Chain A
Amino acid sequence: MILTGRIPRLVHFNLFVDSVMVEFRNYSVVQSFCRRLVAALAAAGLVGCGQSDPPAFRLDMPKVVANGIAPQHQRAIANILGAMFGTPDNPFALPETGLDQRKLATAAGPVWSDAEGGKHGLYRRHCAHCHGISGDGLGPTAAILNPYPRDYRSGVFKFKSTYTAGQPTDDDLRRILHDGIPSTAMPSFALLPPDEIAALIEYVKYLSMRGQMETALVNYVFDEGFEPEVPLDPAADPELKDIIMNDLMAGVMEGWGAAGEQVILPEDSAIPPDDRTPEQIAESAAKGRELFYGATKGNCVKCHGPTGLGDGQQDDYDNWNKANVQFIDDTKSLVGEVQDLKQNLSNLAGEEREAAELELKQKSQELADRRKLIAHMLTPRNAIPRNLRDGSYRGGRRPLDIFWRVSAGIAGTPMPASGPASEGAQGTLTQEEIWQIVDYVHSLPFERVNQPQRRPVNVETVN
């Protein structure tokens, strides 16, 4: 459909250019030009300039292919998601999601402004060119950014106030939209009015829930081992509908509903007072430094490096890149399998050979599918630990932000949680110790460069 709208126009334009080039040698250039221009404009008008198909949500194809989901099940999953969440132009929030339909409508759809100056299509106006229509972080500008824009579909957010596994609160998302993410391509949207920010927050949550639901469905189809012939139609199968709405949906919604209760609260007794003298701060930072280099506790040095420049380990990946690396590695081993099958084929005869040929055909098809996906995949990049002397803090520079970062780690990345994993659990560091690390991290950008560093405490643990 998209192509049929464009081909006639292109063909016509080429004819038009060709004829103009020929006519140029004749004398009636102006007349001919005008005639052709009118014809071309009329053709463009008839075909229509804005008549391409409305944008649609895309399935996470690498995940679908990696789980061996059959094409008819892919369509079924897309249909189920469409019934639950609608389309990018007409998003729909089930009551279970707790999302505000009005906010979603403002954020979704094409970009336009109403007579009163109200802005519509906010997501496509501000976000979609990086984060993609489906919130998959695969917008047209994604590939030229470092770090890559976030893929919301896993429901994992890096900078938040909640425990590692928890979802972000609205305030967390609002803070990111207000301040942007320093030292990345995420700018501040502080100039947008609060109601537009609220609409965007709602839409990001919507895309995230939709993506999580997609993952749940893919995993369900994979785990249950549905045969390709078995239809996946909740309208005809009440039991399936019950599973989707109650088990899968509830699993996704649980985290979002409880986000507010998952906030890590700093204990009053552990919070350093505001009126500390520089000596007291330095003393606390010195203790934080011990933890930073501590082999058993803290051990920030492993990744952030003995200098704090982020020059520790360099070859780990965050979850998003790890999934792509895994996909590429699996494809490589599939190449080997296909080659082995081909070589063995000549040794086989009869039924064995037929079975092997069928397997070869299936695997070759999968390999072709995988190669097509890899061609459009973002090249995997390592998760490089933050340079702590740079003085830019992606998730915010307030001591509270750094406290949350150290305590909960950064979800989806190699940065581990040093605090408890949930309320009441035991973390590797106490809150007092985390605050000491916060003091040390805050002092790092201001250490004089020409001052020789003291010898790190456990330098031998780093290679």
Chain B
Amino acid sequence: MKHFWALVFLMVPVFGVLTFVVAPYFNHWFPKDISEHGRVIDQLFMFILWLTGIIFIATEGALFYFAWKYDARANPEPVKFSHGSHTLEVVWTILPAVTLLFIAIYQMNAWADAKMRKPNIPVTAEITGRQFNWDVRYPGHDGELHTPDDIVRVDGDIHFPSGEEVLLIIKSADVLHSFFLPNLRMKQDVVPGMEQYMWFKARETGRFDIVCAELCGWGHYKMKGRATFQPRREFNAWLDEKLTEQQTRTIAATAE
């Protein structure tokens, strides 16, 4: 076939674009966003996706055009090499550099909101990743962590109040993990020996996934949890219930 290679390389942009077009119909797109700040992050994503997508299609189109036009079988004349164009070199170096710089500056505020402007509020919970579970410690009535009235849960069922700012401490008991709340557009790598902070505000209630987003060992895939967002009143009631359960001394109390 005459234009075999040109057509092969045309498949790259065709399948690349097709993947993004059909992905939402196969439920392979972003999960529902329930956070206050998630809109900004999604907008950033879409902006960069469109920007790079258009450039991608243009570049691949040019590649296809040249592969088609200068196919060896259609051009028996030997190629003449030139030493290139200085102006062109400068242009296609500066344009991407300016674009990248623009993206870097454009996203700074979103980054600072998510990672730098830690709210000055009491810690809601301390989350510890361990191979292969998310353990959580709530400060209890005294509002302080690591006191006898802490509520410690190891079943991966982590509750948060919705409709208000939540501040978490994220720790690791062993190796690198990453605490990922897809529905809140929040992800924080967990580094052994470091305390990381994470903060967000959920707009809705419901149960959503917690996953580990950093390969942490053979059981990484099963390091899942469930985040339950509920109104403050229900959240407090749940905490009280778990505190009572944690103080169980009789068998009667365990009978369901």
Contact = CB atoms under 8 A, between A and B. Distances in A.
Interface in A264-285: 265-266, 268, 271-272, 274
Contacts of B173: 183
B130 to A, nearest CB: 7
B247 A126 contact: no
A391 B157 CA distance: 19
Contact of A185 (B131, B146, B156): B131
Contacts of A161: 251
A188 B154 CA distance: 7
Given A180-B155, A188-B155, A400-B254, 14 more contacts: A129-B218, A141-B218, A179-B155, A187-B222, A188-B156, A191-B225, A271-B249, A272-B249, A391-B152, A398-B246, A398-B249, A400-B248, A400-B251, A435-B249
Interface residues of chain A: helix, strand, loop or mixed (majority):
loop
Given A180-B133, A446-B148, A187 B249 contact: no
A446 B147 contact: yes
A144 B218 contact: yes
Contact of A399 (B154, B155, B247, B251): B247
A12 interface: no
Interface string A129-157: 10000000000010010000000000000
A180 B250 contact: no
A443 B148 contact: yes
Contacts of A179: 154-155
Interface string A432-447: 0001000000110110
B238 to A, nearest CB: 15
Nearest to A400: B248
Interface in B145-175: 146-148, 152, 154-157, 173
Contacts of B156: 187-188, 190-191
B224 A191 contact: yes
Interface in A393-410: 397-400, 403
A397 B155 contact: no
Contacts of B42: none
B251 A265 contact: yes
Nearest to A398: B248
A75 to B, nearest CB: 34
Contacts of B96: none
Contacts of B148: 442-443, 446
A96 B146 CA distance: 49
Given A180-B154, A398-B245, A188 B133 contact: yes
A188 B134 CA distance: 9
Contacts of B187: none
Contacts of B249: 266, 271-272, 274, 398-400, 403, 435
A127 to B, nearest CB: 11
Nearest to B137: A391
B190 interface: no
A442 B152 CA distance: 13
A403 B248 CA distance: 11
Nearest to B133: A187
16 contacts: A178-B155, A179-B154, A180-B133, A183-B130, A187-B132, A187-B156, A187-B219, A188-B155, A190-B155, A266-B249, A266-B250, A266-B251, A399-B247, A435-B249, A445-B146, A446-B148
Contacts of A171: 254
A180 B247 CA distance: 19
Contacts of A68: none
Interface of B: 130-133, 135, 146-148, 152, 154-157, 173, 218-219, 222-226, 245-251, 254
Contact-size category for A: 20 to 34
Nearest to A264: B251
A445 B145 CA distance: 12
Interface in A237-278: 263, 265-266, 268, 271-272, 274
Most chain A CB neighbours (cut-off 10 Å) among B133, B223, B226: B133
A182 interface: yes
A372 B244 CA distance: 53
Contacts of A272: 249
Contacts of A126: 222
Nearest to B149: A446
Contacts of B130: 182-183
Given A179-B155, A187-B219, A188-B155, A400 B250 contact: yes
A70 to B, nearest CB: 38
A187 B223 contact: yes
Contacts of A274: 247, 249
Contacts of A178: 155
Interface string A154-195: 000000010000000001000000111011010110110000
A187 B132 CA distance: 6
A161 B248 CA distance: 13
Contacts of A398: 245-249
Contacts of B226: 190-191
Contacts of A188: 133, 154-156
Contacts of B133: 180, 182, 187-188
A4 B113 CA distance: 60
A109 B239 CA distance: 40
A92 to B, nearest CB: 29
Contacts of B251: 161, 263, 265-266, 400
A281 B130 CA distance: 32
Contacts of B146: 391, 445-446
A337 B189 CA distance: 57
10 tightest A-B contacts by CB? A190-B155, A187-B133, A398-B248, A188-B155, A187-B132, A188-B156, A182-B154, A399-B249, A400-B248, A271-B249
